[in-house]
Every structure is written in C-alpha cells, then in structure tokens.
Structure 1
Amino acid sequence: MTSLRFFLPIFALAHAVFLFAVATSDAAYPSAYGLDQSCTATTVSASSADDLVPVRREVYGGGRIIDISHRYHSEMPSWESSDGLGHFLWLAKSMKNGSIANNSEMKLPTHTGTHVDAPGHVFDHYFDAGFDIDTLDLDVLNGPTLLVDVPRDKNITAEVMKSLNIPKGVRRVLFRTLNTDRRLMYKKEFDTSYVGFMKDGAQWLVDNTDIKLVGIDYLSVAAFADLIPSHLVLLRGRSEIKKLPLLVVVVQVALKSPKVRAMSHCNIIDSDGMFQDIILVEGLKLDDVQPGIYSVHCLPLRLVGAEGSPIRCILIK
C-alpha cells in the first residue's frame, strides 16, 4: 500500500504531461514548437535563446502549401525607383530601451511587393464612390486557379491569349512570364522592360474568357507601354452601377413570384451581368511552381479608402 501511494503522484504527473502534449501537438503548435531539440521547457535560458534561429519557409505541410508572396524588405523593387523600396520599417518602441514590449511602425506605398488593385486605382469616380480594397470580392480571391506559362519572347497580346487556350469556365489564372525567369522581383532597380498585358490582350481576356482573377509576376499586370489602357480595360465593369436601385426594385418584385422565389439576390444580379469586375493581383512569387491547377487563397488588408493593398497569397495542391 505504501509503494502504491508513492507511485500514484508519479502516475498522475505522467498522465498530465501526456494530456498536455496531446493538446498542444496540432498543426499550428507542435509539441516542440520554438524549442531546439537539445533544450527542454525548463532549460531554455538567455544564452540558449541567443542561439535560436528562425526558420523561413516557402512551402508548408510537406509541400502541400506554397507561399507565392514576396517578402518585404528595403531592397525590393518599388515603382519607378532605382533604389528599391528603401527604409520602410522601424522599431518605434524597444524593450532594450525600456519599453514593456517591442512595437514596430511602417510606411510604404500600397502597391508594393505582392499586392492587389482596387478599381479606384485608375478610375477616379470609383475612388470617390468608395470602391476600395474593402469592397473586393473574397470569393474571387479564393478558389480553384490555373497557373500558366506565357511564351517568353513577348508581352501578353490578343494573339498570346488566344494561344494559351484557357478553357471557358476558368475564373482565376496566374500568368508566369519572363519576369520570373529574369528574377525581376529580386532586383532593386525598377525595370520598365517587364512583361505584361497589352491593351488588345486585356480586351481579348475580357471578351473571350470567364477570368475574374488575374495574377502576374511583376509590379503591374499591364505592360509599361500600355500601362493605363490595359488597366482601364481590366478594371472596367461598373458602367451600370448607377442602375442598382432600379435593379433592387426589380429583384424585390421578382421574388414575389413563386417561380423565382428560390433564386438568390446575388444570382439575379450576376445573371444580369452586374459586378463582373476583374481583380488584379500583382508581384506574385511563381518560382519553382509547376504549371497546373491549384487552390489559390489571397487575403488583402481591409484598408477603407485605399485603392491598393499588400496581400498574402498561397497555393494549395
């Protein structure tokens, strides 16, 4: 009996440790998360903490998740800058200087690195009306996508678009171009010779495909020679927006009919060609990714009043 009383606390402690290990061993926080294999939870000291090395990855989940966003740093390219982005992040409050926590601040253009455009980027009346980043459709930014390789010797023209043979029904396409081969997103100096859409290529996409998400591997989807015209073609789509109040009345009347009562408000709007906007994601990191079908997930910041935003994009096999 005495020996049993001696071992009971040990058994209880072992059981508690086991339950804790199970509870913390999930995909986000594995049991050894943040600890060197030579350390234990009770032996991490200031000296051993100095030896910790952060792990920066491009793939996660055994290669199933691929990060296609570029890291933000001072020497990344910035629009029409020969010196790169420059200093954009600083430690405003430091624990080494007596603050209770480290707090950084940053200042950078919203169209920096991997980012997304809102229609107000090139349409001033959309900007004034409030069509900002917070109004973009997350359903378009997330879902099945096709990654295609563009012929390396030319911009994306109508001829090139036709040659890609993108099937009808495909809503999201990431275009990998010579920009990736030239590693332009890794060069500090902005390069006007990047590959992008010419106006006729943008118009062909709008007229002949169902694409609603266009992604590309440099700071603009539009070639420098057709910068604004291509943007205007791709971001146009709200010419009928002023008719929305009338449309709502029509929907309300139609929903009184048993034949259409089951139809959703959104489906009726879509069937009338409303809100057929194309979303542009620029500066994607498409190195070492095979062409094919993936699930893309892109989430911009909810910046009210902003016409652009940094965005984190991943592909899932």
Structure 2
Amino acid sequence: MTPSKWIDISQPLTNDMANFPGDTPFSYSLTYTKEETGSVNIGQMTTSLHMGTHVDAPFHYDSNGKTLDKLDLDLYIGKAKVIDVSDVDTITKDTLESFNLDNVTRVLIRTSLPNNPKHFPDKMPELDPTIAAHLHEKGVQLIGVDIPSVDSADSKELETHHALYKHGIFILENLMLDHVKSGNYELIALPLAIKGADGCPVRAVIRPID
C-alpha cells in the first residue's frame, strides 16, 4: 500500500506576507548573483522569528523559559489530531469537550479565520485560557492553531500563552488548515536550532493515518 502524501500546512515566506503589527517583516533578496560570483547565487533574509508558521519557545513570553534550542524535538514529530471549531468565534473548554481528545498528544485547531498570509487579521478567534487545563488533562503537549497568536494581537498579559505554559503545552501558530479535513495525521514541524532564540518559522507538514 502506497503511503499517503505529505500535506504542507505552512505559510510560504514571501516578501509581501503580513507581519505582526510593529514586528520585523520578512524580506528575501540576493546578496550576490551568479553573474557577480562566477559560480553561485547567494541569498539573505531578514525576518522576525514569529513570521509565518512558527513555534513559540517559552522564552518568548517568560524570560526564564526555555529557549528554542532547549526544546524537546519529539514535541514536533508524531501523531496529531486536526479538529474543526470554525463554527464558533471563542474556543472554550466546553468547545473542546465535544471532541474525543483522549490520548492525543498534539492537537491542531482549525478556526473560523480564513487562511490569508498576506493580510493580518483585524480580529481573530479567541482561545479561552481555560482550554489549557482541559488539554493537559487529556495528555496534550502541543497545540497548533491557524491564527497568528493564541492570544489577541493587542494582549499584554498573554493569558492563554501562560495558561498553556503552566500546563506544559507548547505552541505552534499560523498553520494553514483550510484545505485539511478533520482527523488523525502524522506531523512534522521541526524548529531550527537557533541558540538562545524565542521562536522560529517552521515547515509544517502532515500525512493522514488510520
């Protein structure tokens, strides 16, 4: 039996993609062309570490938290469950209780926000901090969302970030899930080994499993 193909659920990094308000936009350009070097093209990029599909290291919102290079890679490889909560604008504990998350380590949440990497949303679906205790009780260690942040863009308290952190749940943001059906998948979303970093873009892919 031929294995299912991998599905890309990451945002392409492009020079016209939207960035978090006030953050460093993504930019790619050639530093040297093949004509200039005589042998190769050499590119460079400038970017916030929270552009596109990315992971948050705890150091992002806790100065004493783990940096990117200290994270357990097993978090970002393995079985994941995609659930669709696009019928609500606020995701609460009650919302998640309607799904069977028993023995689910990684949950990827499709919200009501359409995927549009070139536009930063004026308003995002909200994740109530109470989901953290519920997810922890089910054994979830990684939450992925198809929105730029698990908290509102203007939040200073970052209550959902901290609630998830308190319950040992790590964060993957800005997934592309509009073309993905609910169900069980294999996930690969490895962060780069950037020493001391607060996060970084990832290439997130999934493959259906029985």
TM-score (norm 2): 0.88
- In the superposition, relative to structure 1, how do residues 224 and 160 fare at CA in structure 2: closer, same or farther (>3 Å)? farther
- In the superposition, relative to structure 1, how do residues 295 and 280 fare at CA in structure 2: closer, same or farther (>3 Å)? same
Which piece of structure 1 moves more, 144-153 or 210-219? Answer: 144-153
Q: Which has the higher strand share?
A: 2
Measured after TM superposition, the shift of residue 98 of structure 1 is: 4.0
SS of corresponding position for 1:178: coil
Larger radius of gyration, structure 1 or 2?
1
- The 5 A counterparts of 1:193-272 are 193-206=123-136, 208-224=137-153, 228-236=158-166
Deviations 1:116-160, CA, capped at 9 Å, x for gaps = 01110111122xxxx211111111211111100014232212221
Query: Contact conserved, 1:73 with 1:85, CA < 8 A, in 2?
Result: no
Deviations 1:212-232, CA, capped at 9 Å, x for gaps = 010010211234476601101
The one-letter amino acid paired with 1:307 is D
Query: Contact conserved, 1:114 with 1:311, CA < 8 A, in 2?
Result: yes
Query: Contact conserved, 1:166 with 1:209, CA < 8 A, in 2?
Result: no
Measured after TM superposition, the shift of residue 186 of structure 1 is: 2.9
**Alignment correspondent of 2:79:** 144
- Once residues 98 and 138 of structure 1 are traced to their aligned partners in structure 2, the CA distance between those partners, rounded to angstroms, is 37
Which among 57, 61, 67 is matched to residue 132 of structure 1? Answer: 67
Which among 183, 186, 192 is matched to residue 117 of structure 2? Answer: 186
- Once residues 3 and 13 of structure 2 are traced to their aligned partners in structure 1, the CA distance between those partners, rounded to angstroms, is 24
Does 2:178 align with 1:283?
A: no
SS of corresponding position for 1:147: strand
Aligned residues: 206
Measured after TM superposition, the shift of residue 313 of structure 1 is: 1.1
Does 2:56 align with 1:117?
A: yes
SS of corresponding position for 2:97: helix
Query: Contact conserved, 1:68 with 1:285, CA < 8 A, in 2?
Result: yes
**Higher relative contact order, structure no. (Cα contacts within 8 Å, ≥ 6 residues apart):** 2
Unaligned runs of 5+ in 2: none
- In the superposition, relative to structure 1, how do residues 161 and 225 fare at CA in structure 2: closer, same or farther (>3 Å)? farther
- Once residues 25 and 90 of structure 2 are traced to their aligned partners in structure 1, the CA distance between those partners, rounded to angstroms, is 26
**Alignment correspondent of 1:298:** 189
- Once residues 143 and 201 of structure 1 are traced to their aligned partners in structure 2, the CA distance between those partners, rounded to angstroms, is 22
SS of corresponding position for 1:232: helix
Which piece of structure 1 moves more, 96-105 or 61-70? Answer: 61-70
Query: Contact conserved, 1:68 with 1:313, CA < 8 A, in 2?
Result: yes
Unaligned runs of 5+ in 1: 1-60, 238-276
Which among 62, 77, 83 is matched to residue 18 of structure 2? Answer: 77
Considering only aligned residues, what root-mean-square deviation do their CA atoms show, in Å? 2.3
Does 2:199 align with 1:308?
A: yes
